[in-house]
Amino acid sequence: MVVPAHNEARTIAGTIDAILAQTRPAAEVHIVCNACSDDTAGVARRYPVTVHTTARAGVSHARNLGARAARAELLLFVDADVTLPQQLLATIGAVTRNARTPVGTVRVRPDRRRYTLAYHAAALLIPLARAASNGLIFCSRDAFLGAGGFPEEMHVGEDNVFMRSARRQAGARYHFLRHPSAISSTRRIQRWGTAKLLMTWIRGTTAIDKRSIQYEAVR
């Protein structure tokens, strides 16, 4: 499991607690602290996980760094503001047991009820697009390597590009797990507002030069 973390000292403990509480323990957990100016790494080192630090900012760079360090054949990438339900790893393991090249994501629920409708809509659209990640992606190592990892030059929409590339690998099979659902932070929606965030997603999906589209660094 790989968790990219940029200035997540306030939230990383809860994320790790949920990972360690899984009914099927993760074989390895890599926390990748990228360009942190707070004590994210210090908090993470209190736990039985592997902590990496890099001066280079970027969620794609952090994911790729963690994947290169991991030894598992099934990779799971989880954003630091996503909380996993206890049965999730067991469910992913059961679903992918006979899949040679699995690629997929998991339905998420918002941590604030006012955004429930928007998340319901996303749960309908994401399986159709078979791309966006909800802050959580699982795939085989072969799919990851075949896709060339996450595009480090991109600041938004990198999950879409990666999943499309991973799905094109030989034998790839896409999964969208509806149950059990994870819980996602709505902090970016709260900071930006729904309209601005939606427009950024659309631009990130449709722009010819996606490198010009940027998020504020909150993941």
Banded pLDDT at 3 (limits 50, 70, 90): very high
Domains in the chain with CATH codes? 2-212 (3.90.550.10)
pLDDT in tens, 7-26: 999 999 999 999 999 999 99
Across the chain, what does the average pLDDT equal? 89
How high is the pLDDT of residue 208? Answer: 44
pLDDT digits 0-9 by tens, 153-176: 987 789 989 999 999 999 999 999
Contact indicator for 55, 153 with CB cutoff of 8 Å: no
* pTM score: 0.88
**pLDDT-wise least confident of 127-141, 147-161, 188-202:** 188-202
Residue entry with tokens 């480090």: 152
Q: 54-63 pLDDT, tens per residue?
A: 999 999 999 9
